[in-house]
């Protein structure tokens, strides 16, 4: 492979999922910590003039995650670094109010909003790094080699082996060195099989979900509620900015989008961005077997959930968790049906070889 085509940085196939799980553990740690402290009356570790803030414990866990990542190879080590790093980051981030106020105010009002914006920013950056461009031949080859190396010592699950073979097939269609590709393919083939425990756990969890939660009717209800909510946000926003207060009083109409114009604009833009994504998707969903309507609906749900959560965190603090949880569950329903449709579509057209995703 020509050296000029070697990228300055190489993205890893596990990068985005690692970032997402890191954030899941961080958010869960924040919620558990806040709940525990509220239930126990906010005890302090230390005594006398000392107070060992849990941000210090968070820093220690993040340090251990770094050391473990430097010293060990393999999926187990990666899982440990994600777990320790996520918990440590959550403990550190939970005390952000102390870091941005002169009086070290743990209960600083906008702290929840700061946490939310930071977590959302990391999530968006992680997705952007993966999705903004296709993997290069060098990246695909490097990731296939990394999977093969893991497989030699820990074995390969069927999913990991298939991912490595897709990457090698992709590099075979480029100007990658055919001899190197063949050597890595031989390593992948030589790696022993190992059971996919994560997939087995996922399948057990899916089977445990009540059937009504997987019903297409719930998807239909969620989708049309999303359309209705975004349409209302657009209509109310237009009325608020086109009708003067005296005219509203004559019509006996009261409109409240928030405590200031910024909140109103955020809600209006949320609806304006979501409606053109969700409405065509719901109309086309049962009229085609393609996956694009559900992809569009999922994007709309992401926009609506996370922009509205921004307003909720600013006005309600940690009370916004309820609305965000409902939005996350709606996203889970849409994602489940999207995965089902994509699987069915891939089965019908098995000859199509998609570009592997990082």
Element (H, E) at 250: helix 245-250
Model confidence band, residue 245 (pLDDT cutoffs 50, 70, 90): low
Q: What is the pLDDT of residue 353?
A: 52
Average of per-residue pLDDT across 172-191: 86
DSSP bridge pairs for 47 = 50
51 forms bridges with which residues in the sheet? Answer: 46
Judged by DSSP in three states, 350 sits in: coil
Please provide the average confidence, as pLDDT, over all residues in the chain. 83
Distance of CA 230 to CAs 79, 235, 270, 330, Å?
38, 9, 7, 15
Which ranges of 94-244 does DSSP label H, i.e. alpha helix? Answer: 96-100, 111-131, 137-154, 158-172, 178-190, 197-208, 216-242
Q: How many Cβ atoms are within 10 Å of 320's Cβ, its own excluded?
A: 20
Per the DSSP assignment, residues forming a β-bridge with 193 are 156
Which of the residue ranges 37-41, 183-187, 244-248, 293-297 would you say has the lowest mean pLDDT?
244-248
103: pLDDT strictly greater than 90: no
pLDDT per position as a tens digit, 246-258? 655 555 554 454 4
Residue labelled with tokens 């077997």:
289
Q: How many other CB atoms are there within 10 angstroms of residue 3's CB atom? A: 6
Would residue 48 be called left, alpha or beta, if left means φ above 0 and alpha means ψ between -120 and 50 degrees? left
Q: Which of 238, 314, 224 is nearest to 272 (CA)?
A: 238
pLDDT at residue 277 tops 80: yes
CB–CB of 123/23 below 8 Å? yes
Q: What is the mean pLDDT of residues 63-76?
A: 92
pTM, two decimal places: 0.78
d(CA 84, CA 88) in angstroms, rounded, equals: 6
Taking only the tens place, the pLDDT of each residue in 208-239 is 777 777 788 899 999 999 999 999 988 888 87
């Amino acid at each position: 492979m020509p050296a000029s085509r070697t990228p300055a940085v190489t993205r890893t196939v596990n990068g985005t999922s690692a970032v997402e799980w890191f954030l899941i553990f961080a958010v869960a740690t924040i919620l558990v910590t806040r709940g525990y402290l509220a239930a126990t009356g906010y005890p302090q570790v230390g005594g006398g003039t000392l107070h060992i803030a849990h941000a210090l414990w968070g820093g220690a866990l993040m340090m251990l995650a770094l050391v473990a990542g430097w010293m060990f190879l393999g999926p187990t080590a990666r899982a440990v670094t994600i777990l320790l790093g996520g918990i440590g980051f959550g403990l550190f981030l939970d005390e952000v109010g102390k870091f941005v106020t002169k009086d070290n105010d743990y209960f600083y009002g906008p702290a929840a909003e700061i946490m939310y914006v930071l977590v959302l920013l990391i999530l968006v950056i992680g997705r952007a790094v993966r999705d903004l461009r296709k993997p290069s031949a060098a990246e695909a080859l490097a990731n296939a080699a990394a999977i093969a190396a893991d497989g030699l010592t820990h074995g390969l699950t069927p999913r990991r082996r298939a991912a490595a073979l897709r990457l090698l097939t992709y590099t075979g269609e480029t100007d990658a060195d055919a001899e190197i590709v063949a050597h890595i393919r031989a390593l992948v083939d030589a790696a022993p099989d190992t059971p996919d425990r994560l997939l087995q756990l996922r399948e057990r969890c899916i089977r445990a979900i009540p059937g009504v939660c997987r019903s297409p009717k719930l998807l239909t209800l969620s989708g049309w509620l999303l359309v209705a909510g975004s349409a209302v946000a657009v209509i109310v926003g237009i009325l608020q900015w086109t009708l003067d207060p005296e005219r509203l009083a004559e019509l006996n109409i009261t409109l409240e989008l928030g405590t200031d114009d910024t909140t109103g604009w955020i809600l209006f833009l949320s609806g304006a961005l979501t409606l053109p994504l969700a409405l065509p998707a719901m109309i086309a969903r049962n009229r085609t077997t393609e996956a694009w309507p559900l992809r569009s609906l999922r994007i709309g749900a992401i926009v609506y959930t996370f922009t509205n959560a921004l307003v909720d965190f600013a006005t309600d603090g940690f009370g916004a968790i309820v609305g965000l949880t409902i939005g996350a569950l709606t996203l889970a329903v849409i994602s489940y049906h999207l995965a089902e449709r994509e699987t069915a579509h891939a089965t019908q057209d098995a000859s199509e070889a998609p570009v592997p995703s990082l």
